[in-house]
């Protein structure tokens, strides 16, 4: 029995040593794969990312409810839910100048210095305005900053875009 245990111990040690040898050779292969992946990433066009998100939520009354997004490539989406002219899902195009104008207004109002949330869950029947500009998200529902200049500009962008209904 001791001989069997010793034999198993030696076999396990040999396998472990062989495994260590393989591991020592592996980083060269991994580095080559990673280098190739980087080269592919540099030559491949990256996917567009969402740079602007603007949402108004429902209330118990006639509050407009919709979601509006613009991606880095200028593609825009709109989904109207309640008390808006466009109900349903739509796609459209925005210009780089439109994106830049939103970024400038956000900078002017100090958007990046705002808190993430302005809310009071004890207060009922207030709609929220949720914006994400770049990587910064702000929920503005109760006692939040006056961001009307930003919201009005986003509303104007929605009105100016030529929308195409998305078939569901």
Q: Where are the alpha helices (DSSP H) in the chain?
A: 2-43, 96-108, 148-160
Mean pLDDT value across residues 100-127: 95
Which positions ≥6 away from 134 have C-beta within 8 Å? 51, 103, 106, 112
Q: Is the pLDDT assigned to residue 115 strictly greater than 90?
A: yes
Tens-digit pLDDT profile for residues 9-18: 444 444 334 4
In this prediction, residue 46 carries a pLDDT of 79
Tens-digit pLDDT profile for residues 69-93: 999 999 999 999 999 999 999 999 9
In this prediction, residue 45 carries a pLDDT of 62
Which positions ≥6 away from 25 have C-beta within 8 Å? none
In this prediction, residue 18 carries a pLDDT of 41
Q: Is the pLDDT assigned to residue 28 strictly greater than 50?
A: no
Q: Token match 């002017």: residue?
A: 108
Which pair of structure tokens corresponds to residue 155?
């509303």
How many Cβ atoms sit within 10 Å of the Cβ of residue 145?
Answer: 15
């Amino acid at each position: 029995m001791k001989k069997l245990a010793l034999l198993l111990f030696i076999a396990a040690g040999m396998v472990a040593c062989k495994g260590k040898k393989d591991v020592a050779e592996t980083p060269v292969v991994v580095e080559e794969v990673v280098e190739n992946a980087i080269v592919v990433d540099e030559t491949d066009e990256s996917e567009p990312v969402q740079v602007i998100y603007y949402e108004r939520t429902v209330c118990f009354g006639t509050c407009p409810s919709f979601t509006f997004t613009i991606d880095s490539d200028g593609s825009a989406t709109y989904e109207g839910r309640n008390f808006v002219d466009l109900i349903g899902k739509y796609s459209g195009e925005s210009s780089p100048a439109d994106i830049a104008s939103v970024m400038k207004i956000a900078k002017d109002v100090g958007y990046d210095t705002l808190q993430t949330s302005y809310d009071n869950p004890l207060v009922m029947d207030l709609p929220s305005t949720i914006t994400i500009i770049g990587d910064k998200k702000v929920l503005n529902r109760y006692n939040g900053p006056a961001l009307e200049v930003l919201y009005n500009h986003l509303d104007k962008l929605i009105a100016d875009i030529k929308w195409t209904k998305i078939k569901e």
